[in-house]
Structure 1
Amino acid sequence: MYFIRFVLLAVLIVLNLSSTLFAGSAAPLIFEHGPRDGSKIALTFDACPTSRSDEYDEKVINVLLAEKVPATLFMSGRWVEKNPEKTKFLASQPQFEIAAHSYYHPHMVEKDNERVLRELKRTQALIKRVTGQTPHFFRPPFGEVDDRVAKLAAETGLVTVQYDLASGDADPNLSPQRIERGVLRDARGGSIIVFHMNRNGMHKAEVLPVIISGLRKKGFTLVTVGELLKKK
């Protein structure tokens, strides 16, 4: 009996020590999806800097406008810098939510704290200056993030948002049918789906109406990330 009491006491001490060590040090949240028990899905579009930083797939935006689809647009600073008027126009559309996608699109996990903060703050400041809006969300380039980067983002007021479903729209080797099937098959309540609004994809504008229609027929409601996560 004494031995059992001793073991229980030791366990309690360890648990108490663990709670003390980790109190207040929880990893910053990195959202890959929203609530799974609902019918909301967020369509997101990245504007990455390219060899031609002025690249812009207007047909994609026209589809979203025509279909009245809310969407979150993750913009890199370089893209905004090259497209200030387009950025202003997009920000003026009530259905769109403007978010940050770093400035130069580096591998953030490989950069030191100073560089990460510079990327984030410079992008925030530029978007604010061009649109008058302060972004609330940040998507790391290449889908690469760790707790350190997410914590630095949180320090600048940004919530880190990944995705749980990649559309594959930037892969010229994927057929429209394969993109459509993949998205409609794998979409779930709470999904955050990533597309691109650059011209580096081959079938975006072609498949988007089919995907939008298919998701709605399945009973999903399309919303912004802010609405999905209720973080605005």
Structure 2
Amino acid sequence: MFFSSGLVWGGSPAPLIVEHGPRNTHKIALTFDACPTGTPDEYDEKVIEILLREKVPATLFLSGRWVEKNVEKAKFLASRPQFEIANHGFYHPHMLEKDDDRVLRELKRTQALLKKVTGRTPRYFRPPYGEVDGRVAKLAAEAGLVTIQYDLASGDPDPDLSAKGITRAVLRDAQGGSIIVFHMNRKGVHTAEFLPEVIQGLRQKGFTFVTVGELLQNAKSQITNHQ
């Protein structure tokens, strides 16, 4: 991970790409991506039930296509104060392969849909597949969005990883200010299985859970700028 400042993109400072919050804190942000899978059921109800039962705040990165297919579920999620709604693009494309117009369309169309369906205007964007550079981050900034990556990937979409292995890795690698990525679209093979133990284990280590917005609020977060 490289931390730098003063980079220039197109004659102006490169926009921020946030990978984690301040390290001198016991706060951690759990984030859940909802990308379209092309399957009939793209909503892991058990994951959401666990978060609600345990009263864990979380930031949910919703793709526009997912919202189109799950309008009532998106409305329900937005109705829960503990959840922060964020932008995950519309069709979940590889943004680095798309021209500026396509990237902006992806972002703005999702923003408009999320506003219409949930009544919320997202502040944060996570690039599909975690693929981002200065150009894409700059376009996101033009759309009014801060680009959010992560410093800890749970690996929950990997069918070769066991629930115990994921739990062990997350509890080992989590740090103050970590932004951890999971999935809530049934792409995570074991997410609902390991999530209670991860929540309990992180709490036992003294961590508290916040949304990305709360993690970054009034704090000079560590950021990565990419050209």
1:202 maps to a residue whose letter is V
Counterpart mapping for 1:192-207 below 5 A: 192-207=179-194
> 2: distance between equivalents of 1:54 and 1:88?
17
Tell me the CA shift for residue 85 of structure 1.
Answer: 0.2
> 1: distance between equivalents of 2:158 and 2:164?
13
1:129-150: CA deviations, max 9, x gaps?
0011001100000000000100
Q: Is the 2:32–2:182 contact (alpha carbons within 8 Å) kept by the matching residues of 1?
A: yes
> 1: distance between equivalents of 2:175 and 2:184?
23
Q: Is the 1:54–1:79 contact (alpha carbons within 8 Å) kept by the matching residues of 2?
A: no
Q: Which structure would you say has the larger Rg?
A: 1
Q: Is the 1:127–1:134 contact (alpha carbons within 8 Å) kept by the matching residues of 2?
A: yes
Tell me the CA shift for residue 72 of structure 1.
Answer: 0.2
Counterpart mapping for 1:17-36 below 5 A: 25-36=12-23
Equivalent residue, structure 2, for 1:38 = 25
1:80 matched to 2:70? The reply is: no
Larger relative CO (CA 8 A, sep 6+): 1 or 2? Answer: 2
1:127 matched to 2:114? The reply is: yes
1:106 matched to 2:93? The reply is: yes
Moved over 6 A (4+): none
Equivalent residue, structure 1, for 2:212 = 225
> 2: distance between equivalents of 1:218 and 1:144?
31
1:118-137: CA deviations, max 9, x gaps?
00000000000001100110
1:1-24: CA deviations, max 9, x gaps?
xxxxxxxxxxxxxxxxxx9x99x7
Equivalent residue, structure 2, for 1:6 = none
Tell me the CA shift for residue 52 of structure 1.
Answer: 1.6
> 2: distance between equivalents of 1:196 and 1:205?
10
DSSP 3-state at the match of 2:73: helix
Q: Is the 1:53–1:78 contact (alpha carbons within 8 Å) kept by the matching residues of 2?
A: no
> 2: distance between equivalents of 1:201 and 1:155?
32
In the superposition, the TM-score normalised over structure 2's length comes to 0.90
> 2: distance between equivalents of 1:161 and 1:29?
9
Unaligned runs of 5+ in 2: 1-5, 219-227
1:167 matched to 2:154? The reply is: yes
Q: Which of 56, 70, 75 is equivalent to 1:69?
A: 56
1:63 maps to a residue whose letter is I
Give % identity: 75
Tell me the CA shift for residue 29 of structure 1.
Answer: 0.3
1:94 maps to a residue whose letter is P
Equivalent residue, structure 2, for 1:14 = none
Q: Is the 2:182–2:188 contact (alpha carbons within 8 Å) kept by the matching residues of 1?
A: no
Tell me the CA shift for residue 53 of structure 1.
Answer: 6.0
1:81-105: CA deviations, max 9, x gaps?
0000000000000000000000000
DSSP 3-state at the match of 1:178: helix
2:22 maps to a residue whose letter is P
C-alpha RMSD of matched pairs (Å): 1.6
